[in-house]
Chains A and B, each alone.
Chain A
Amino acid sequence: MSTEAIPAEKSKRNYNALFGLTLLALLVLLWVILSLSTSSFASANNISNLLRQGSMIAILAVGQTFVIITGGIDLSVGAVVGFATVIAAMLINAGIPVFLAIAITLLVGVAIGLFHGFGIVKMGLPPFIITLATLTSLRGIGLLMTNGNSISINNDAFQEFSRNSFLGVPNLFWMVILVGIPAYIFLHHSRWGRYLFSVGSNAEASRLSGVNVQRTIYMAYTLSGLCAAFVGVLLASRIGIGNPTQAEGWELQAIASSVIGGTSLFGAVGSVHGPLLGAFILATINNGANLLNVNAFWQRIITGVLIIVIVYFDGLRRRGGK
C-alpha cells in the first residue's frame, strides 16, 4: 500500500462511471449499426416505439436494482404489473377518478412490497421464495377477479396518455426520467440509499453500526413493488385492458437489465443509470432483430449471450482491479 498504488485506486474509483460510459457506447453503437443497416430504424416512429418498449422494463429494473443491492431478488414484478393492470382497469371502469384509481393501484404495489418485507424479515423466508410465491399467486388472484377475461378500459383520456408525446419525446419515456432522477438521488445521495448498500454488503455490521436493517429491507421491496405497480398503470394505459396474464417474464427482463447494467447479484454493487441503459440495450436488440427479420426465438438467445458476456467482462475487471 505504497504511494505508487494511488493511480490504480483512482482508476477503480472511476470504474463505475467508465462502465456506464461503456454501456452508453454499446447502445449508441447498436443504434448506429441499425440505422445504417435498416431503412426503418432511424425513423421517428420507430425510435418512439423503441423508447416506449424500453421504458416499462427500465422502470421495473430500477426497482429491482434496489432489491438486488440489498442482496435479495424480486421475482414478483411481472406478476405485479399484470395484477396492477387489472386493479387499474376495474377502478377506472367503476367510475373512480383516474388519479384516485392510479393512487390506489400504486398503494396496492406498496402493500405487496410490504408483504414481501414481512415475509423476509418476520417470517425469515428467503427473498427468492416469498417473491416466487407472490408471482404465482398474484396471477391466480387476478384470474379469479376477472374470471380469466380481459377487462377493456373505457376511458379514452387514460389511454391517450401513453400514446402522446411531450416535446417530441413519448410520455412513457418521460416517466423513466420521472422515476430515474429521484431514484438516482435516493440511491446515491440519501442516507437510506447508503443503507441499501451497507445491508447488502454486511447486514450484521450494519446492524451493529445502528442501521435499521429490517426497515431497509422493507423499503427496498416496497420501492420495487411501487415501481412495478406504476409500470402496471402505464401498461394498462398503453394496451387499454386489464389482464392478469400480461407482462409474463418481465421480471426476468428486469433482472437481466439490472445485471447488464452492472448490478451484482451478490449485493452491494449497483447504480440507477446502469439498469436504465441495460433496459434500452435489450429493447434495441429486440427492436433491431424485428427490423432485420431475425427469428424472434433468436432474440432470446442473443439476450442470454449478452448477459453472459457483459457479466463475465465486468467480473474480470473487478477481479483484475483487486
Chain B
Amino acid sequence: MTSTAQDLHPAPVLEPGRTILELRGLEKKYPGTHALKPVTLAFKSGEIHAIVGENGAGKSTLIKLLTGVMPRTSGEVIWEGNPAALATPHEAMALGINAVHQEVVLCRHLTVAANMFLGEENSRFGILQQRVMVKEAQKIIDDLGFDLPAHVMLGDLTIGQQQLIAAARATVRGTKFLIFDEPTAYLTRKEADQLFTLIRRLKSEGVTIIYISHRMEEVFELADRVSVLRDGTLVGTRNIAETNDAELVKLMINRSIEQVYHKEHFTPGAAIVETRNLSGKGFENVSMTVRAGEIVGLYGLIGAGRSEFVTTLYGRHRKSAGQILWEGKPVQVNSEHDAIRLGMALAPESRRDQGLCLNLPVGLNLNLPIYKRISKNLLISGAQEKAQADRQIADLRIKTPTRHALASSLSGGNQQKIVIGKWLAHGAKLFIFDEPTVGVDVGTKAEIYRLFGALLSKGAGIILISSYLPEVYELADTLHVFRRGKLVATHGFRTADHEEILTQALAEKQEKLGGKI
C-alpha cells in the first residue's frame, strides 16, 4: 500500500442524503435474552446519527451486528441497495464499515505509525518501509490537526490520545460508515474538540457516522438525528432540531432529568483528612481538607494530577513532601494497607485495570476488602460471606443472577456498583471516587449519586474526581480545579459558572497536548 494523504480522503462518491444502510427487522437473541428486538431503521450517507440508551439497551449488540462480530438472528441488512450478510468483521470492513471502540483495541507496544498501518503495512520485498510509514502517518495526523508524534510507542500516549489515533486509523481505510462507541469517555475537552472536528470533516466527505454516547450535550452538538434504544427496542428516532434533553432522557429511562443529579446538603462536620502542601509524582503543593458530610470535587483535564494526588493520599505512591493529617493528627500513609486501616476507600479510575477481578465471582469482588473481618483464624465464615455479598447486591441493586456470576458478565454500570459496593461494608470514613460514572448510563448514574447522599448522611466524606464538569458542578460542596499538577482554584457549591471553571482548568490555551512526551 502506498497511500498518500490525498487518496486517504477520497472525494465523496455518495450523494448526501441517500440511504446507504438499511436495517429491516434486524434482531438478535441470545439464549435466554432478547438483546435486540426487530429494528427497522435507515441511515443516510453523510449524516451523523446518534444512538442513545442505557447500558444493556442493545447499543453494543447493534454495533456487533453491523461490524460482523456476531451473526444476527433474523432480519435483513441492505447496504447500498444490496442485501449484505455481514457474517465476518472482514466483510464489514470490505464494505467500508468500521468502528472506533471506547476501549482502544490497538497494540500498545508498537509505534503510532505501525498501529495506523497495522494489517496494511508498506513493505518492499517483504521488508517494512518503517521510515516511509512514520512519515505518512505523521502527515495524516498533522492533516487531521492532532498534535501528536507518529514515531512514539502507542502506550506512551494517554488513553485520550490513543483514542484519537484509533479514530485516525479508521479514516485511513476507505471508510464509508464509521461507528464511534462512546469515544469521549476518556477524552479531555480539548481532545474531544479535535475529535469532533474530525467527525464533522468526515461527514462533509459523505461518510455516515454512528455516534454512541451517554453525554447528551455531545449528541446535541454533533448529531443530525438521534435514535433511542430501551431494553432492546428502538423507541424512537428524532431530528435533532425537533427534540430536547428532557424528551430523550424520558425516552431512555422513563424518568425526568431533574431526578438524575440528586444533591443532598449536609452541614459539614469535623475534618476527616487534611493535606498540607502535599507533593508527589505528578502534583505539587496541594493543600485541602475534606470534612464529614461534604463532597470535595476535583476537576481538571486528564493528566492534571488529580488521580496522582489521590493515589498518593491512598499510599499507592510515595509522597515527596508535605503532610497528611487524619482527624487532626499527622499520619504516615506508606501503603494502601495503611490507608485502608485509617478508614480510606478508593474506587479507582479504571474498572478493568484497577477496580475488579473480572474473571472472579461478584461475591468475591465485593468481599475482597473485608475478608479479614468475615474470617476467623484465616477460615472464612461461609454464612457471613454470603450475607455480606447478598446484602450489597440487594442494597445497590446490582443486576446479577447470583453472587457466583463472574464480574465480567455484568454490564459496565453494574461493574461500577461492585467497585463502589465493596467499600460500603468496610465502614470507611473517606471515600475517594475517581471518575465513578465513566461509561455508566443515566439510570445507574442517578443511583450512584443517591449513594453519595447515603454515605454523607452517615458522616463520611467524599472526594469526587471527574472530568465531566456537570457532574462535579452539581454535586461538589467544594470544588477544586487542578491544572498541570497544581491546585489552581477553589469554589463553593455553584459559586462559579462553567465558563470560569473551564478556563481555569485549561488556562494557557497554547498548552501542548503531547507536551509530556
Contacts and interface: CB of A to CB of B under 8 A. Distances in A.
B355 A205 contact: yes
A194 interface: yes
A296 interface: no
Given A189-B382, A209-B369, A6 B357 contact: no
A202 interface: yes
Contacts of A2: 32-33
Contacts of A205: 348, 353-357, 368
A194 B380 contact: yes
A181 to B, nearest CB: 13
Interface in B209-268: none
B409 interface: yes
Contacts of B402: 6, 9-10, 13
A269 B364 CA distance: 13
B401 A210 contact: no
- B32, B56, B369, B372 pick with most chain A CB within 10 angstroms: B32
Contacts of B405: 9, 12-13
Contacts of A191: 371-372, 375, 378-380
A192 B409 CA distance: 25
A237 B340 CA distance: 49
A194 B356 contact: no
B198 interface: no
B368 A204 contact: no
A269 B359 contact: yes
- B56, B357, B358, B371 pick with most chain A CB within 10 angstroms: B357
B371 A194 contact: yes
A9 B32 CA distance: 11
Given A1-B56, A198-B368, A322-B409, A207 B378 contact: no
B360 interface: yes
Nearest to B407: A201
B399 A209 contact: no
Contacts of A190: 375, 378-380
Interface in A1-45: 1-2, 4-10, 12-13
A198 B404 contact: no
Nearest to A203: B357
A164 interface: no
Nearest to B403: A13
Nearest to A7: B32
B498 interface: no
A209 B423 CA distance: 9
A209 B31 contact: no
A208 B348 contact: yes
A50 interface: no
A1 B358 contact: no
B288 interface: no
B357 A198 contact: yes
Contacts of B371: 191, 194-195
A45 B369 CA distance: 51
Given A10-B401, A189-B379, A190-B379, A208 B360 contact: no
A208 B404 contact: no
Interface residues of B, number: 43
B330 to A, nearest CB: 22
Nearest to A13: B404
A209 B371 CA distance: 10
A201 B357 contact: yes
A197 interface: yes
Given A5-B32, A194-B380, A204 B56 contact: no
B72 interface: no
B87 interface: no
B400 interface: yes
Nearest to B411: A1
B354 A212 contact: no
B76 interface: no
B353 A204 contact: yes
B153 interface: no
A80 interface: no
A72 to B, nearest CB: 16
A12 B361 CA distance: 11
Given A190-B379, A192-B378, A209 B401 contact: no
Contact of A197 (B33, B348, B353, B357): B357
- B336, B353, B408 pick with most chain A CB within 10 angstroms: B336
A14 to B, nearest CB: 9
- B314, B371, B378 pick with most chain A CB within 10 angstroms: B371
Contacts of A189: 379-380, 382
Nearest to A197: B360
Contacts of B446: none
Contacts of A6: 401-402
B401 A268 contact: no
Given A185-B379, A268-B357, A1 B33 contact: yes
B399 A201 contact: no
Contacts of A194: 364, 367-368, 371, 380
B346 A208 contact: yes
A306 interface: no
Contacts of B411: 1
Interface in B294-319: 314, 316
- A190, A194, A205, A207 pick with most chain B CB within 10 angstroms: A205
Nearest to A268: B359
A146 interface: no
A156 to B, nearest CB: 39
A210 B337 contact: yes
A197 B363 CA distance: 13
A202 B358 contact: yes
B422 interface: yes
9 contacts: A4-B33, A10-B402, A190-B380, A191-B379, A194-B367, A194-B368, A198-B368, A201-B357, A210-B337
Given A5-B33, A8-B31, A12-B404, 4 more contacts: A2-B32, A13-B405, A206-B368, A208-B346
Q: Which 6 pairs from chain A and chain B are nearest by CB?
A: A201-B357, A9-B401, A4-B32, A210-B340, A13-B404, A209-B368
